[in-house]
Amino acid sequence: MGGILVVAEHLRGNLSAQTGEVIGLARELKAAVGGPLVVAVIAADPVRFHAELALDGVDEVLAVEAGEHFDPAVYEEAAHRLALEMKPRLVMLGHTVNGMGFGPALAVRLGGSFVSDAFGVEAEGGRLLALRGGYGNKVLTKIDVSASCVTTLMLRGGSAKPPPAGSAPLRIVPLDLQAAAVRAAEHRDYVDPPPADVDITKAEFILSVGRGIQDEKNIERFRALAERLGATFGCSRPIADSGWLPKAHQVGLSGKVAQNCKLYIALGISGAVQHLHGMKHVETIVAVNTDRNAPIYNVATYGATVDLFELADALEREFN
């Protein structure tokens, strides 16, 4: 048993960006896991996705012909057959609506371990530790998946970066999936979710606020300040949980990872474990908190124990 099998995801003819992220993490784990990194795409015309999936580190792209629309039973059956043939150490896919449609059932059929909503895997001393939130995403948990059995792992979006283009060969795998497709359900239509006004995962400059802003009425002031500075407006979990800002603005384990951020300004944020996960990797972190012992200072590049409202006054004057 060895290697990694990634199951690609696509929607309306477009490859999911999250598939590239899953391949990126798989590429990082390849040396520790051993064996090849194989990506499978299940679609009506799977060959058209070859170039997009042949990323650096991928050893082979498998093309499986199926129906035009996503069918969880078909994906489960196809991935199960591919896994039985390849005998991978890891089966990886995105933690998405479609992924949840077949990932857990696939894990049961494979008989190994299962980790959903993971945001990373550490290779440590010969062990593989899957990272995910626990206790309502208030703590970071490490799940040991080192046992010599297949592990099905679903990766949260924004947790890794896609690798550059590569030149992996394509192999067409003929599978008869008609029996799996016979079911009392059919695709009727797509219903898009309400659009979010921000995308934390793509922002390069983020100004986030926490409980230090004291009152919901101060939200608009700091939103205006973020716009004046050219920053995306983010927040910590208590702000989102209180309903002061939509969940799309939240940075952290239960929110979004500031994956592409280069400058992060944290105003009145203490730096709980779940929030630090979403931003501690940023190149430059500026923390403003009157509590000198706030955990955020352990990761901050620069820190200031000044009153954040006085700082806001100064920034507003400077950038008026």
107-138 residue pLDDT tens: 999 999 999 999 889 988 778 999 988 776 66
Q: Which domains does the chain have, with CATH numbers?
A: 4-181 (3.40.50.620), 200-318 (3.40.50.1220)
- pLDDT tens-digit profile of 72-94? 999 999 999 999 999 999 999 99
* Res. 5 pLDDT band, cuts 50 70 90: very high
Half-sphere exposure of 118 (CA within 13 A, CB side): 30
pTM, two decimal places: 0.78
Query: What distances in angstroms separate CA 314 from CA 265, 308, 309, 310, one per listed residue?
Result: 15, 10, 9, 6
Half-sphere exposure of 91 (CA within 13 A, CB side): 33
Angle between helical axes of 219-229 and 308-318 (0-180°, round to 10):
40
Kindly state the average pLDDT of the residues 212-219: 94
**3-state DSSP call for residue 108?**
helix
* Res. 195 pLDDT band, cuts 50 70 90: confident
Task: Provide the sign of the torsion angle of the four alpha carbons 303, 304, 307, 310, taken in this order.
Answer: negative
- pLDDT tens-digit profile of 21-41? 999 999 999 999 999 999 999
